Structure 1
């Protein structure tokens, strides 16, 4: 398991499963000859996308950023459509660190699409229960409301079994959630309720852009997904927060990237420091 250690905060990437989605959808209107130079694509025009939660430990507390794709939640048809090669083994990853799901104090959800939220619940004895029963689950108020009342487009990704069992654990915020070194900011864009996470530890800054910058190949502010509900909002948020990150020489961390866990960029946008994903 790859790690990033700051003075007071430790990040550890867990195994949350892997999907393979259409590269054209992931890069929107960007022509394939451009994006395929930046990210490997297979013969089906799919790109590998991890769904790996990040365990963040600080102040004696355990925080989980996103929840993985879960286990036993997807039909065989969904697995084919989403290119799922492996489901989550988050509980096993935690076990290797001497933890279990009951030790998680907070689950931080940038948004609640199925590939981020399926790991929040599991089926036991014919009913769905919370995987992290002692955790406060943090997401934006806008995201939570759409999760419960999806529209004709979003109902394909906001699933009842992912929210009903955990609704008593959810804490929502309007524009920002501030908690110790964490600041969660509602950005919109990818979804109406999408948020990013900023973590500051002394002189170190970490920015988790979530699905505004799903992989290292998405750093161009104009390269946004066809999946984005509000692409111009995505572009505006990327401009703002990537400038913020550049001014602080911040680490960017990833949930989906199959190549890097975290990177730092130089003034030209080249990767100057990185934590590669172990293969």
Structure 2
């Protein structure tokens, strides 16, 4: 597992699963002749995407950014349609570093699409139960409301089995919340109406988790938005804002979906000056 130290924070990438999605959908209106230079694709025009939660340890607190694909949560048809080649193995990942799911203090849900939220619950007989029994689950109020009341477009990604058994753990926030000094969740909208990013600052050290506004290193271009985005113009404006902020701070940008890089640090001009490659 790859690890990164940013100020007081230690980040560790866990094994949350992998799927393959259409490259055109992941890069929206960007022509293939352009995006294919940035990110590999297979003979079905699909790109590999991880769904790997990030364990963030700060001040003896253990936070998890998103929850992975879960295990035995998808039907055979869904596995095939979403190109799922590997399901979550969070228990084993945590065990490697001497932890368990019960050690997680909070789960920071950037949004609640199935590929981020399936790992919140697990199968128990004919029902589901929470995975992170001792954790508070944070997400924006807008996202939580849509999760429970999906519209005609979002009903295919906001599933009851991912939220009904965790209602008592969820603490929605309005626009911004500081979880501990320096660590914030900030609502952005864009990819979904309730989408949020995560920002950590400690002196001159900083990381920004853009979630699905910038799901991979190949989405660095501020104008490259996903076809999956509900509000692509908002995504573009929020990416522009937070890339400018992060460039000025020489922040690390961390990734949940990237199959090749875990994190990249950019300078003031947007040039990569340091990288953490995915090794496993």
- Tell me the TM-score range normalised by the shorter chain: over 0.9
Map of 1:261 onto structure 2: 262
Instruction: Give the Cα–Cα distance (whole angstroms) in 2 for the partners of residues 208 and 61 of structure 1.
Output: 18
1:100 aligns with 2:111: no
State the Cα distance separating 1:169 from its structure 2 match.
0.3
Instruction: Give the Cα–Cα distance (whole angstroms) in 2 for the partners of residues 96 and 239 of structure 1.
Output: 38
Map of 1:244 onto structure 2: 245
Map of 2:200 onto structure 1: 199
Map of 2:37 onto structure 1: 37
Map of 1:3 onto structure 2: 3
State the Cα distance separating 1:126 from its structure 2 match.
2.1
The 8 Å contact of residues 6 and 207 in structure 2, kept in 1 or not, is answered as no
Map of 2:189 onto structure 1: 188
State the Cα distance separating 1:267 from its structure 2 match.
4.0
Q: Secondary structure at the match of 2:138?
A: strand
Instruction: Give the Cα–Cα distance (whole angstroms) in 2 for the partners of residues 241 and 269 of structure 1.
Output: 12
State the Cα distance separating 1:266 from its structure 2 match.
3.1
CA deviation vs aligned residue, 1:150-200 (integer Å, no higher than 9, x gap): 000000000000000001000011110112221111000000000000001
Map of 1:126 onto structure 2: 126
Instruction: Give the Cα–Cα distance (whole angstroms) in 2 for the partners of residues 39 and 270 of structure 1.
Output: 17
- TM-score, normalised to structure 2's length? 0.98
Q: Secondary structure at the match of 2:235?
A: helix
Map of 1:155 onto structure 2: 155
Instruction: Give the Cα–Cα distance (whole angstroms) in 2 for the partners of residues 34 and 272 of structure 1.
Output: 23
Instruction: Mark the runs of 5 or more structure 2 residues left unpaired by the alignment.
Output: none
Q: Secondary structure at the match of 1:21?
A: strand
Instruction: Give the Cα–Cα distance (whole angstroms) in 2 for the partners of residues 55 and 126 of structure 1.
Output: 30
- What count of residue pairs does the alignment treat as equivalent? 279
Map of 1:211 onto structure 2: 212
CA deviation vs aligned residue, 1:91-150 (integer Å, no higher than 9, x gap): 110111111111100000000000000000001122100000110000000000000000
State the Cα distance separating 1:268 from its structure 2 match.
4.2
- TM-score, normalised to structure 1's length? 0.98
The 8 Å contact of residues 206 and 249 in structure 2, kept in 1 or not, is answered as yes
Instruction: Mark the runs of 5 or more structure 1 residues left unpaired by the alignment.
Output: none
State the Cα distance separating 1:237 from its structure 2 match.
0.4
Instruction: Give the Cα–Cα distance (whole angstroms) in 2 for the partners of residues 217 and 18 of structure 1.
Output: 17
